[in-house]
Amino acid sequence: MAERANIRPWRNELNAIVSENPGVAPSISEDLWGCAILERDVAAAERALATIPPEGIQGYWGEVCPREWYVGYTARIFNRSETARAAFAASRAILEKQLREKPDNGLTWTLLGQVKAALGEKQEAIEAGQRACELWPLSREQRWGLRTLRHLAMIYAWVGEKGLSLEELKLSASVPGGVQYGFLKLSPNWDSLRGDPRFEKIASSLAPKAAL
């Protein structure tokens, strides 16, 4: 999927896992949800949301992504604006509380930036995304720096700063382990950039090369 934008093998594997043991779904809920989002399959996304624990999903460095964030994101891309706004507002309160307790968690800052972008809080969204990159700069934390860099690009795209988003994407695409072809082609995060020659050039630079 990441290399060729072919989502079918990932979907087949997830279906096989759940078919063999339906009880395992909550442990792979983020994969189930992520795959459904890339497929733009609202029914599959709703089924995946039902498997996400009420407290959200535990990530790295103590980060917890609230369930409300997944609900808000899903509602946003399927044009359920009222549901999205309510869920993102709830997410904002949860994430702000997390940051009062752990103010140096870059991943939580990126999530807060995305929430604020979705709520139309443009400047605060940008500042949150930039704060994450300051905490985990690419020069020091390549793995996590690439993640916060990609999320900053997403925030810029969501608030209408296409040029800035493309600058960050271009940088990410130039670094090993950076943004991947499949995610550029399939993710709703970049819908506002599609058709822009600069975006298409970045995506093409990551496209799989034809077999010799």
Structural tokens at position 124: 């605060």
For residues 123-144, one letter each, b for 16 or more C-beta atoms within 10 angstroms of the residue's C-beta and e for the rest, the string is ebbbbbbebbbebbebeeebeb
At residue 210, the 3 state secondary structure works out as coil
In the predicted structure, residue 143 carries a pLDDT above the cut 50: yes
- Average pLDDT of the chain is 94
Spatial CA neighbour of 78 closest among 41, 48, 50, 33: 41
Residue 160's CB: how many other CB atoms inside 10 A? Answer: 11
The total number of residues shown for the chain amounts to 212
The predicted pLDDT at position 8 comes to 97
Structural tokens at position 114: 């995305």
* Position 211 confidence tier, pLDDT thresholds 50, 70, 90: very low
The predicted pLDDT at position 209 comes to 83
The CATH code for residues 53-206 is: 1.25.40.10
Query: For residue 193, what is the DSSP state?
Result: G
SS (H, E, C) 3-69: CCCCCHHHHHHHHHHHHHCHHHHHHHHHHHHHHHHHHCCHHHHHHHHCCCCCCCEECHHHCEECHHH
In the predicted structure, residue 170 carries a pLDDT above the cut 70: yes
Spatial CA neighbour of 24 closest among 34, 14, 33: 14
The predicted pLDDT at position 3 comes to 94
Q: For the chain, what are the domain ranges? A: 53-206
Mean pLDDT of 104-118: 95
